[in-house]
């Protein structure tokens, strides 16, 4: 019974983390479009910081903790090739999270990429999510 509860917690954490990973770069797009040091820029800074610190960071930590606990409970998953592809994408998702955190700090210092660069970065978590879900559900290998 504990396994299914941790699995449910894992899925809830992942959904929260993904929501942030999909929304934060969209905020960056809007932030890059406003005048530096305007009231709107300050609002975006606050929104970005709160999203990252209050939702995304805890959700990422909980995703990792619960996922590792599930692997500990079922180590046979580690012999399956699809799991290694999934884990590789999770590591890349974590790297993307860290890149977004750096982008947020740069925006806080008025160092911005172009709107289009943020739009491209917005696609990275989507692509990784697609691969992760296919690996976890279809288990093609």
* CB distance 31 to 41 below 8 Å: yes
The Cα 46–Cα 132 span in angstroms is 31
pLDDT in tens, 50-73: 999 999 999 999 999 999 999 999
Torsion of CA 121, 91, 130, 51, to 10 degrees: -50
For the entire predicted model, the pTM comes to: 0.93
* pLDDT beyond 90 at 1: no
- DSSP reduced 3-state for 107: helix
Cβ contacts of residue 107 below 8 Å, gap of 6+? 28, 31, 32, 44, 45, 48
Give residue limits of the domains in the chain. Answer: 2-138
């Amino acid at each position: 019974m504990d396994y299914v509860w941790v699995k449910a917690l894992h899925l809830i954490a992942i959904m929260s983390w993904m929501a942030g990973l999909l929304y934060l770069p969209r905020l960056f797009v809007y932030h890059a479009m406003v005048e530096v040091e305007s009231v709107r820029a300050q609002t975006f800074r606050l929104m970005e910081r709160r999203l990252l610190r209050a939702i995304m960071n805890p959700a990422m930590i909980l995703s990792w903790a619960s996922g590792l606990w599930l692997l500990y409970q079922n180590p046979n998953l580690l012999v399956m090739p699809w799991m290694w592809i999934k884990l590789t994408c999770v590591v890349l998702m974590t790297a993307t999270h860290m890149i977004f955190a750096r982008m947020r700090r740069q925006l806080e210092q008025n160092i911005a990429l172009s709107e289009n660069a943020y739009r491209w970065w917005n696609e990275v978590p989507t692509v990784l999510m697609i691969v992760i879900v296919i690996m976890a559900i279809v288990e093609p290998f």
